Chains A and B, each alone.
Chain A
């Protein structure tokens, strides 16, 4: 295998990692606040199509990126309205969001299929570092969204661990009555978390349509939203582990289309003969394995998952 192909593999790993990391980071915020959002796939599709269309119109990738985030937040707001404010089942509402979001995105984008915007995100090429052999391309010559994602990851960690807001968010994900009783608004915290989470998913979707696979086609999110949901579990609801998991999942995603061009044998097995479809299920298999391991390690302790995850809250119930 050529050096260029290998560097290309790792460049793509970082980009795919960024894609699922952004979406999963949003899901992590919602889940730490106790709201399961299975609508990530639909939100990413909505973000992808709306970002692409704003990009076509304005020619500004940043305007497109933030428009996609706003659309994601809006869709998240719908989930919040149904499942947080009205207390409907979060699984049903989330699944409806995925199905509806995919369909709506296909409808909205039916006239822009095949078009290309004039300006897309360009690689940043950090001066002095981008020329380093191998590492330069992998770490220092990436589109700005990659670096933004790193900053957002740090910000989310900081807010959750070190601020009053983060404490309240963690608490409402563990026990809504407790958080209510100390005077935080359960509804406001959870709705905000779901909307911010939606914004992250929408933004991730636009990274797909504005950089990774420029353009819009129906079905282009291709299950990456579900990988993001799995990644939250894989990362045990912690931003740091989420980042590591994102690189691992990103690697499998980057490897998938390249696998059959690789002329390598490992232990006598021709790598190019492995089916990409099998590789595609690897993130989910890894997630289940990690889930089993952490459940076992926590069998005598409270679970790692937020204790109130998926439970709606109404105050005057007895």
Chain B
């Protein structure tokens, strides 16, 4: 082991960091050689994001040392980290939508007087030099997610960063864009820069990266010096500690019941007024799980919103339980048996600052009210029933719900939505970001609902989950359903090319 950080681009040594009630890092190490692409792996909550935020000067570590390019550093702010050559591309981009590409790139390192034309020219030169197309004059809100990521990378290159940190970079990209990103990162590594690459997509990690560090529960669990020497399965095992955990058993096929949800010729616009859904036709029957496959941003969010009444379709018809609900309010649809677990669970699904009790009764207070008054005893009792039945771990029921972990939030939300025995459940990314136990719990509830005759529309980015749970898979690409596949006999390669817009015929 090296005795100093001199020969490393980055050396994070024995990093410790606590947040109220959470130990994020408990003495984790990370060493990155210059000119390499280094994967930082681990489950949600393993401490990856905390580690890179320490490196980026966002968090100050409670203990441990930070070395960059052979020098020990004490970052007091992101500015210090930038000055030391650390560039960070966050998962949720740190771009200002109302500013132009050029303004975003020079923000923080602009000259005192802005000569807009000159800056735009230099940004165009930089983007041409690295083969990353980006029109410097356009406001960022008009850009796709892939373009925004390019702007983020250009921002770091503009500052001549020697270390680039990428947090889940391909989550928002199409497979083609992801391949381009891989090439860009390789070009940067060949110039002697280092890249720290955080991802859950192990196949991409193996394809893009040279070496890896695996974190588990805030500690370094394993390091891999050459990723060519290991296979995907052993990488996955390093991350979770055991292999094959997480997924519930595949439910046996069953006869499907009557139609409970149908969409006919649905088209809709997104928030920006651009077409998001085009001519969607689909049906969900009682007792089946229909899985929606696709890279996020291909209309899944708008689809869920049109079904639940949060977005008005431009044309087409939505029916729940045989009744036309195209113009019905979300409340009316709920009354007809439509339940919804939204992608944004803390925001759309639950109100962060309201208590656990208030959040559990806010959907429908039929049984908890007397006339115009809410009967608090009944509310608390109802909440307790949900907590027990769905195994939610909570502190006090009157504390704000934002204090719950992701898995417990989702258990409560799902419990609330299932409380009145719905006919249809729309679940958007129900297991995203949960730990293994949480995923297993949510998935077994979905399967149980299917057995009870509920029709489930499952929108997910996790192909394993979709293939394990669904009775039929629909692939969405650019707002259309481009293919329908049986889940168990369809090879990944076929699903993959359908997700990229080229369904094999």
Known contacts A171-B99, A300-B272, A301-B272; A181 and B110 CB within 8 A of each other: no
Residues on B close to A: CB < 8 A?
19, 56, 58-60, 77-79, 82-83, 88, 90, 94-99, 103, 106-114, 116, 141, 155, 271-273
A167 touches B98 (CB 8 A): no
Considering only residues 172-227 of chain A, those with a C-beta below 8 Å from chain B are: 174-175, 177-185
Q: Tell me, in angstroms, the Cα distance from A177 to B271 when the chains sit together.
A: 23
Q: Tell me, in angstroms, the Cα distance from A94 to B94 when the chains sit together.
A: 29
Select the residue from A183, A300, A307 with max chain B CB neighbours within 10 A.
Answer: A183
A163 at the interface (CB under 8 A from B): yes
What are the 3 closest A-B residue pairs judged by CB atoms, nearest first? Answer: A182-B108, A183-B79, A300-B273
Question: Please, which residues of chain A bring their CB within 8 A of the CB of B113?
Answer: 162-164
Q: Tell me, in angstroms, the Cα distance from A315 to B116 when the chains sit together.
A: 31
CB distance from B367 to the nearest CB of A (A): 36
A167 touches B106 (CB 8 A): yes
Neighbour of B107 across the interface among A161, A167, A177, A315, CB < 8 A: A167
CB distance from B492 to the nearest CB of A (A): 35
A133 at the interface (CB under 8 A from B): no
Question: Please, which residues of chain A bring their CB within 8 A of the CB of B110?
Answer: 164, 167-168
A175 touches B94 (CB 8 A): yes
A179 touches B77 (CB 8 A): no
Residue of B nearest to A165 (CB): B112
A170 at the interface (CB under 8 A from B): yes
Neighbour of A163 across the interface among B114, B141, B273, CB < 8 A: B114
Question: Please, which residues of chain B bring their CB within 8 A of the CB of A182?
Answer: 78-79, 82, 94, 107-109, 155
A175 touches B107 (CB 8 A): no
Question: Please, which residues of chain A bring their CB within 8 A of the CB of B82?
Answer: 182-183
B79 touches A170 (CB 8 A): no
CB distance from A240 to the nearest CB of B (A): 17
Q: Tell me, in angstroms, the Cα distance from A170 to B56 when the chains sit together.
A: 23
The interface on chain A, measured as residues whose beta carbon lies within 8 A of the other chain's beta carbons, has a size of: 29
A265 at the interface (CB under 8 A from B): no
Q: Tell me, in angstroms, the Cα distance from A182 to B81 when the chains sit together.
A: 9
B103 touches A167 (CB 8 A): yes
Q: Tell me, in angstroms, the Cα distance from A316 to B97 when the chains sit together.
A: 23
Cβ contacts A275-318/B at 8 Å (1 or 0 each): 00000000000000000000000011110000100000001101
Residue of A nearest to B105 (CB): A182
A184 touches B98 (CB 8 A): no
A302 touches B97 (CB 8 A): yes
Residue of A nearest to B103 (CB): A167
Q: Tell me, in angstroms, the Cα distance from A166 to B106 when the chains sit together.
A: 13
CB distance from A32 to the nearest CB of B (A): 11
A184 touches B79 (CB 8 A): yes
A178 touches B272 (CB 8 A): no
27 contacts between A and B (CB under 8 A): A163-B112, A164-B111, A164-B112, A167-B106, A171-B96, A174-B98, A175-B95, A178-B96, A179-B96, A179-B107, A179-B108, A180-B77, A181-B88, A181-B94, A182-B78, A182-B82, A182-B94, A183-B79, A184-B107, A184-B108, A300-B271, A300-B272, A302-B98, A307-B97, A307-B98, A315-B58, A318-B19
Q: Tell me, in angstroms, the Cα distance from A302 to B273 when the chains sit together.
A: 12
A181 touches B112 (CB 8 A): no
Cβ contacts A141-165/B at 8 Å (1 or 0 each): 0000000000000000000011111
Q: Tell me, in angstroms, the Cα distance from A316 to B49 when the chains sit together.
A: 13
A301 touches B141 (CB 8 A): yes
Q: Tell me, in angstroms, the Cα distance from A28 to B90 when the chains sit together.
A: 31
Q: Tell me, in angstroms, the Cα distance from A184 to B106 when the chains sit together.
A: 12
CB distance from A310 to the nearest CB of B (A): 16
Q: Tell me, in angstroms, the Cα distance from A49 to B108 when the chains sit together.
A: 40
Q: Tell me, in angstroms, the Cα distance from A170 to B271 when the chains sit together.
A: 24
CB distance from B405 to the nearest CB of A (A): 12
B107 touches A168 (CB 8 A): yes
Question: Please, which residues of chain B bring their CB within 8 A of the CB of A165?
Answer: 112
B107 touches A180 (CB 8 A): no
Question: Please, which residues of chain B bring their CB within 8 A of the CB of A171?
Answer: 96, 99, 103, 107
